[in-house]
Structure 1
Amino acid sequence: MLNIADTLHDWCREARPFALATVIQVSGSAPLPPGTALAVDADGTAVGSISGGCVEGAVYELCQQVLADGGIPARARFGYSDDDAFAVGLTCGGEIEVLVQQVAPTAQPHLTVALEEVVSGRPTAVAQVVDGPDELVGRMLCLFGDGSAHYGTLGGAREDRAVVAQARALLRAGRTGLVEVGGDADTCPDRLSVLVHTHASRPRMLIFGAVDFAAALSQAGAFLGYHVTVCDARPVFATPARFPHADEVVVDWPHRYLEHTEVDPRTAVCVLTHDAKFDIPLLRLALDLPVGYVGAMGSRRTHDHRLDALRAAGVPDNRLTRLRSPIGLDLGAHTPEETAISITAEIIAHTNDRTGRPLSHSTGPIHQSASGDLSPAARTAA
């Protein structure tokens, strides 16, 4: 639902009831992931998408039915239909399960607060019961910030504690996921399936080297939703005017800046200087940090010399295997803009644990199935 947070926030502030259709499970090559939502208000206004167009009409009608039926939740499964694929099925061949519920903002005021947090760009998680006892389906519990505070309830203190623990982990990973709790007669007798929607702070892209390639990469990184930092020790080159798409431009020695800045498993470190006096101390530190991606620009000869220097600096081979060098995928890139696409394509493939091969040269599902497992997706986000 957080894909349409802006509109839902407006509707909640106006206390306007609406039907919310949420993708709760996908399989095969479904076009959009769990948590994606479409909403319809009483006037018939629709916002969002759950399939990229394949089944929107059927889901819209289901939303209107739920509103007309007094808010009784409904669920539907859409898959490929040989007879009528464009009308009611997914032409991509995947399958999705959709839950449609009525949301009355006055009954769940914590949702309005959660959407306010999302719109303001602050980390937020919304846990939504998608399966369980009828009276609990659709209930929501919200976590803010680091997850230390939560509002709302899913039915009882034990259920809430169980969900909050798993929701915090998903929030730290910046990942939406389905979790199962309960089913224990002594603790949580009601078994619940809970979809945890997360809105995390933007992942970071740290670009070292204030060069033309960095200008193009900062633009590509910003387009992908990264919080982009460009760092260089040379003040004449590291200026905001040269990098208008970066969130910040820092004048400092790269390794010194990296040593004191915040990183996490979603952080991408891109070293574009190919100058040993900057690269070696920087990469020595970067390869020892819990970041998701470390890449360095340079020719294959530069790469070989770099590896020798890093080994001489005490970096073990098991750390060196983390280094993506020469940086980027083999796209035949020449210009800074083409190189930026090559680098970001490699980051996307690495983030999603994919090969980067052409889809036309591979078989199997295009999209990985979603689950509550935090590995390997916990390294990145969302």
Structure 2
Amino acid sequence: MLNIADTLHRWCREARPFALATVVDVTGSAPLPAGTSVAVDEDGTAVGSVSGGCVEGAVHELSRQVLRDGGAPQRTRFGYSDDDAFAVGLTCGGELDVLVQRIDSAAQPHLATALSEITQGRPAAVAQVVDGPEHLLGSTLSVLGGDRATHGRVDDGPADRVIADRARALLRTGRTARVDIGGEGDGCPDRLSVLVHVQADPPRLLVFGAVDFAAALSRAGRFLGYHVTVCDARPVFATPTRFPHAHEVVVDWPHRYLENTGVDERTAVCVLTHDAKFDIPLLRLALDLPVAYVGAMGSRRTHDKRLRLLREAGVGEDRLARLRSPIGLDLGARTPEETAVSITAEIIAQANQGTGRPLTRITGPIHQPSRGHR
């Protein structure tokens, strides 16, 4: 849904009915993740993609049928067929479930509000029932980042409260994910599967050390969608002119800045100074924070000395195990730009629990079971 938020917002403002086809489950290697959507209006105009081309024609026809008939939402599974070369399926060998439903913005005005927040870059979550009783299928509610109030409803009962709580939790972590509710534990009589589409504030990349490698890393981090901060205690080096791709450049002692800034479980901390007077107090603090990644630049010799100093500073082995040092994956990187790719590749691999190994050297599905995405 969020991949076409701009168009959906415009169509809702225009009160234009449309069919929304959303990937609600993915098995094996599929081109696009759960939450990706195609929308088709009454003229047959389509925006978005659910498969990168493999099944778009079939989804388009099903969307037009649902829009024309005005009936109940429909779920369809697409997969690979060895038996019929002309069957509609995914040539990549995976399977995906697609939910197609008619959207009338007048009946769900909260969607326009949520989409407006999303198109303006503000955090919001839209929860969509993708499995459960037929009368609830396709129902939506939304949670906005600012007020955290619930807008819209699913069943006007206990399910709304539980879904809203799950949506708020995913909004905090910045993940789009599918959640199951219902049963004795949460007071919901119906078992429901809900896909929560999340747009959160961008994750933070904190780069400490105003060096050439930091300039390249800030550019790569911004490209990947991070909010990038470069921090250094030396004002002559820490200037916006030297780091045009950083969202902010801060002159402060690194550990003092980290102590007073907001971080969360999506934050990546990259220490590029390899100077003990900056690194040790900074890493001592960073390794004790609930951040996603802590990496430090330096040679093997620098790394060994750094570990010794951190141990002397009272950092335990469990915390030291979190430290990625020397920073980055083994790509043979030499230039600042190559090193930035090496570092961001390691950040991506850790976030997605990837191995960092060449795909030619591993077996099994290319895309692992979804753990949600930003």
User: Is TM (by shorter chain) over 0.5?
Assistant: yes
Q: Does 1:282 align with 2:314?
A: no
Q: Which residue of 2 aligns with 1:374?
A: none
Residue 135 of structure 1, CA deviation: 2.0
| Secondary structure at 2:52 match in 1 | coil
Residue 24 of structure 1, CA deviation: 0.6
Q: Which residue of 2 aligns with 1:111?
A: 111
* TM-score, normalised with respect to structure 2: 0.97
Q: Does 1:37 align with 2:40?
A: no
User: What is the rounded CA distance, in whole Å, between the counterparts of 2:28 and 2:335 in structure 1?
Assistant: 37
**Matches for 1:117-156 after TM superposition, within 5 Å:** 117-145=117-145, 148-156=148-156
Bigger drift between 155-164 and 9-18 goes to: 155-164
| Secondary structure at 1:77 match in 2 | strand
Count the aligned residue pairs: 374
User: What is the rounded CA distance, in whole Å, between the counterparts of 1:84 and 1:11 in structure 2?
Assistant: 38
User: What is the rounded CA distance, in whole Å, between the counterparts of 2:16 and 2:145 in structure 1?
Assistant: 27
Q: Which residue of 2 aligns with 1:238?
A: 238
Residue 85 of structure 1, CA deviation: 5.8
User: What is the rounded CA distance, in whole Å, between the counterparts of 1:326 and 1:179 in structure 2?
Assistant: 37
Residue 275 of structure 1, CA deviation: 0.8
| Secondary structure at 2:9 match in 1 | helix
Residue 169 of structure 1, CA deviation: 1.4
Deviations 1:118-158 (A, max 9, x none): 11111111011112222221111000116731111101221
> Identity over aligned residues, as a percent?
73
> Structure 1 unaligned runs (5+)?
372-376
Residue 170 of structure 1, CA deviation: 1.2
User: What is the rounded CA distance, in whole Å, between the counterparts of 1:163 and 1:199 in structure 2?
Assistant: 16
Runs of 4+ in 1 over 3 A off after TM superposition: 83-87, 183-187
> Structure 2 unaligned runs (5+)?
none
User: What is the rounded CA distance, in whole Å, between the counterparts of 1:286 and 1:86 in structure 2?
Assistant: 55
Deviations 1:170-221 (A, max 9, x none): 1111111112222459942222221111111100000001111111100100
Q: Does 1:218 align with 2:223?
A: no
Q: Which residue of 1 aligns with 2:294?
A: 294
Per the alignment, do residues 144 and 86 of structure 1 end up closer, same or farther by CA in structure 2, a change over 3 Å counting?
A: farther
Q: Does 1:265 align with 2:265?
A: yes
Q: Which residue of 2 aligns with 1:78?
A: 78
User: What is the rounded CA distance, in whole Å, between the counterparts of 1:186 and 1:73 in structure 2?
Assistant: 26
Per the alignment, do residues 246 and 185 of structure 1 end up closer, same or farther by CA in structure 2, a change over 3 Å counting?
A: closer
Q: Which residue of 2 aligns with 1:177?
A: 177
Deviations 1:237-293 (A, max 9, x none): 111111111110101110100000000000000001111111111111100111000
Q: Which residue of 2 aligns with 1:162?
A: 162
**Matches for 1:330-345 after TM superposition, within 5 Å:** 330-345=330-345
Bigger drift between 159-168 and 316-325 goes to: 159-168
Q: Which residue of 2 aligns with 1:91?
A: 91
Q: Which residue of 2 aligns with 1:327?
A: 327
| Secondary structure at 2:134 match in 1 | coil
Deviations 1:16-70 (A, max 9, x none): 1110000011111112111111111111111111111111111111111111112
| Secondary structure at 2:190 match in 1 | coil
